[in-house]
Amino acid sequence: MKKENLDTDYSKEVTPNVEKQESTFPSEVIDLPSKGLVYPKDNLLSSGQIDLRYMTTKEEDILASTNLIKKGVVIDKLLEALIVDKNINYKSLVLGDKDAIMYAARILGYGENYNTKITCQKCGEDDETTIDLSELKEKDIDYDILTPDNRYEFELPHSKAKIVFKLLTVDDDLQIEKELKYREAFNKKTNKTKDVVQQDISTRLKYLIIEVNSKSTKGDINKFVDTMLSRDSIALREYYNKIAPGMDTDINFTCSKCGGSTVVSIPLTVNFFWPNV
């Protein structure tokens, strides 16, 4: 059976009418949530900062590219284009740092006010609200845990298996999405879409874990994840979120319709980078 071409490597896509820009446009130095502690010393990101250009019409052309939107790589193409130093390996960014760059790019491009809708957890109604993105803070984590080799140990509480894992990078995330899309397309092609489980959690764990009980082959890791206790899976993911640097996207929300107050995560809707839609 011929495999469908679902290559989502954004570096192979042709960006419409966009040239690599030098630092001739105004830019801002952005602090990375990781402070550069998760990168080797020879990685330019180890400085803990990145210089980001203000958006221009050329970047708006990227955002308007239906081809890039369809392939799910439009934000990656945008962020890579905005990084001033082209020697920086964008795909080596850990996801928490990428998110910080994304929020900074949105502020530099369209301002700090983000108009969106939040569904009230108490009354169930959609409520229009404006979020000030400039007020976002970094997560409060223990930076002493972070290592330049991006390797972290954790003993699973129930099986007692000793895990070594890493913080996922942009490259890992792209590969995960590529694998999930291929599996989805294969299931559609073979008419196996009914009651098919997406396997998002297990696929992500297979990229996150790099060693199990001193075994590091892909086969050993995949086999372990496929039979991993859910209680251990939850514990590992909770610990991962605890130590992973990034932005604190939880905000206090008060519904204008029922007056109920709660804490919610900022919803990333189409209005985030397409505010006029």
**Residue 273 domain-assigned?**
no
Whose CA is closest to 109, among 58, 35, 50? 58
Distance, CA of 103 to CA of 107 (rounded, Å): 6
Q: Would you say residue 276 lies in a domain? A: no
Q: Which helix (H) or strand (E) holds 210?
A: strand 209-212
With H, G, I as helix, E, B as strand and everything else as coil, classify residue 52.
strand
- The verdict on 101 and 175 lying in the same domain is no
pLDDT band at 183 (very low <50, low <70, confident <90, very high): confident
pLDDT bracket for residue 260 (50, 70, 90): confident
Q: Sorting pLDDT into bands at 50, 70 and 90, what band is 194?
A: low
Same domain, 117 and 46: yes
132 and 253 share one domain = yes
Those residues whose C-beta lies under 8 Å from the C-beta of residue 248, and which sit 6 or more positions away, are: 136, 137, 138, 139, 140
Quote the tokens at residue 205.
């764990």
pLDDT at 184: 78
| Residue 254 shares a structural domain with residue 239 | no
pLDDT digits (tens, 9 = 90+) for 22-65: 456 799 999 999 999 999 999 999 999 999 999 999 999 999 99
Q: What is the mean pLDDT of residues 104-122?
A: 92
User: Is 127 contained in some domain?
Assistant: yes
Q: Residues 102, 155: one domain?
A: no
Question: Could you give the percent of the chain with pLDDT greater than 70?
Answer: 88
Q: Do 124 and 257 fall into the same domain? A: yes
Q: Is the pLDDT of residue 17 over 50?
A: no
Helix (H, G, I), strand (E, B) or coil at 167: coil
* Packed helices 200-208 and 170-189: angle between N→C axes, nearest 10 degrees: 140
Q: Which of 19-28, 114-123, 170-179, 266-275 has the highest mean pLDDT?
A: 170-179
Q: Give the whole-angstrom CA distance, residue 275 versus residue 277.
A: 6
Q: Which is higher by pLDDT, 81 or 277? A: 81
Is it the case that residue 6 has pLDDT exceeding 60? no
Report if residue 272 sits inside a domain.
Answer: no
Residue 265 DSSP one-character state: E
Domain range holding 261?
A: 10-141+246-265
Interval 61-90: pLDDT, tens? 999 999 998 888 999 999 999 999 999 999
Count of structural domains, the chain: 2
Mean pLDDT, all residues of the chain: 88
Same domain, 119 and 179: no
**pTM, rounded to two decimals:** 0.85
pLDDT at 193: 55
Q: Is the pLDDT of residue 140 over 90?
A: yes
Are 177 and 212 contained in the same domain? yes
CA distance 31 to 192: 46
Q: Are 152 and 172 part of one and the same domain?
A: yes
Residues of 8-34 as b/e, b for ≥16 C-beta within 10 angstroms? bebeebebeebeeeeeeeebeebebbb
Band (190; pLDDT cuts 50, 70, 90) = confident
